[in-house]
Amino acid sequence: MRNWQVSIALVCILLGIFLVAQLRTQQAKGPASMGRSEALAELYKQSEEQRQLLEREIDKLREQLAKANERDSKGLVEELRKLRTLGGLTSLTGPGIILTLDDSKLKGKDDSDTDMYLIHYEDLLLVVNELYAAGAEAVSINGQRLISTSEIRCAGPTILVNSTRVTPPFEVLAIGDPDVLKTSLEMRGGVLEPMRPWGIQITIAQKDNIIMPPYKGTIRFRYAQEKQH
Query: Which tens digits make up the pLDDT trace of 72-119?
Result: 777 777 777 887 777 888 999 999 999 999 999 987 666 667 888 999
Phi, psi angles (nearest 5°) of residue 225: -135, 155
202, burial (CB in 10 Å: exposed 0-12, middle 13-18, buried 19+) = middle
Do 51 and 154 reside in the same domain of the chain? Answer: no
Phi-psi region of 189 (alpha: psi -120 to 50; beta: other; left: phi over 0): left
Cα–Cα distances (Å) from 165 to 114, 153, 158, 161, 177, in that order, read: 21, 10, 7, 6, 29
Report the CATH number that the domain containing residue 191 is assigned in CATH. Answer: 3.30.70.1880
Query: Are residues 135 and 45 located together in one domain of the fold?
Result: no
CB-based contact 91:213 (threshold 8 Å) = yes
pTM (predicted TM-score): 0.68
Phi and psi, residue 4, nearest 5°: -65, -40
- Give the model's pLDDT for residue 32: 47
182, 203: one domain = yes
Highest mean pLDDT among 7-16, 103-112, 183-192: 183-192
Strands 170-175 and 138-141: antiparallel
Q: In terms of domains, do 49 and 78 share one?
A: yes
In the chain, how many domains are there? 2
Asked whether the beta carbons of 186 and 204 are under 8 A apart, the reply is yes
- Same-domain pairing of 114 and 153: yes
In a domain, 228, yes or no: no
Tens-digit pLDDT profile for residues 30-82? 554 456 667 666 666 776 777 677 777 767 777 777 777 777 777 777 777 88
Q: Cis bond leading into 169, ω under 30°?
A: yes
Cα(158)–Cα(164) distance, integer angstroms: 10
Helix (H) or strand (E) holding 8: helix 3-33
Contact 103, 119 (CB under 8 A): yes
Q: Which residues are registered as beta bridge partners of 55?
A: none
Task: Please state, in angstroms and as integers, the Cα–Cα distance from residue 173 to each residue in 70, 95, 119, 128, 181, following that order.
Answer: 39, 10, 17, 10, 11
The whole-angstrom separation of Cα 215 and Cα 160 is 15
Q: Is residue 219 part of a domain?
A: no
pLDDT in tens, 141-185: 999 999 988 999 998 888 999 999 999 999 999 999 999 999 999
If asked whether residues 112 and 66 sit together in one domain, one would say: no
Q: Of 66, 86, 106, which one is at a domain's C-terminal end?
A: 86
For residues 143 and 150, give the distance between their C-alpha atoms in angstroms, rounded to a whole number.
Answer: 13
227: pLDDT strictly greater than 80: no
